[in-house]
Amino acid sequence: SRRIIQKHNTSGTADNPTAEQDEVDELSNQSICKQPVLAPNGSPIYRIERGGEVTYHGPGQLVMYPLLNLKQPNYQQDLHWYLRQIEEVIIRTLLHFDIKSNRDDINTGVWVGKNKIAAVGVSASKWITTHGLALNVSPNLEHFDKDIITPCGIEERGVTSISEVLRGTSSDHCPSLNEVADVALKCFGEVFHVDVTEGRPIR
């Protein structure tokens, strides 16, 4: 298995072909990941092959792309099972920072109260997984303004971050992206029963 962890410049992704038509209508005439359309604030939105709708990526957000073979023992050839395992990684990571989070019966991702703190979108080819999770550590939450995009197509719910949740609490210190990444990798190893070793940086 492999895990790619990275930080993004401000951008958005939308699934193909069920992304919100009113937000990414122009994408239908463009090839995947080639020419993005622009959100009202100028951020590019790319069409990609995964589940979910419009998802924000940007500074202050931890993005993890696990590459797993779901045909291996202890795994299931079931994307719903895999998605729930990814959510479990996030829930355990947040608990390390004294943040209680939960799943939602209808919507994917991980939530603190009614606010989404992590997006999850997965795909697979021949049961090799692609895409993954985006955990809000300390992003600029103004980028989630619904005048710009409707994050994950959910209008009636909000968005939060580790920084926002911890503000004003006894743990009023937001961990760095590297600190959160270290914990996330540990939790990933526990949930998926794999040994985690540090690889070469990808440039």
Q: What is the pLDDT of residues 154-202, one digit of tens each?
A: 667 789 999 999 997 877 789 999 999 999 999 999 999 998 887 766 5
User: Of these residues, 33, 152, 174, 187, which one is catalytic?
Assistant: 152
DSSP state of 87: H
Classify 67 as helix, strand or coil.
strand
Regions of the chain with pLDDT less than 70: 1-55, 145-155, 200-203
- Are 94 and 51 within 8 A, CB to CB? no
The position carrying tokens 């792309």 is 65
**Beta-carbon neighbour count of residue 189 at 10 Å?**
16
Classify 94 as helix, strand or coil.
helix
**Strand pairing report for 110-112 and 44-48:** unpaired
The position carrying tokens 């719910």 is 157
Tokens of 35: 């020419």
Cα angle value 35/41/47 (rounded, 5°): 30
Tokens of 202: 């990808």
Does 33 qualify as catalytic in the annotation?
no
Task: Note if the pTM is more than 0.85.
Answer: no
Q: DSSP string covering 125-144, please?
A: ETTEEEEEEEEESS--GGGG
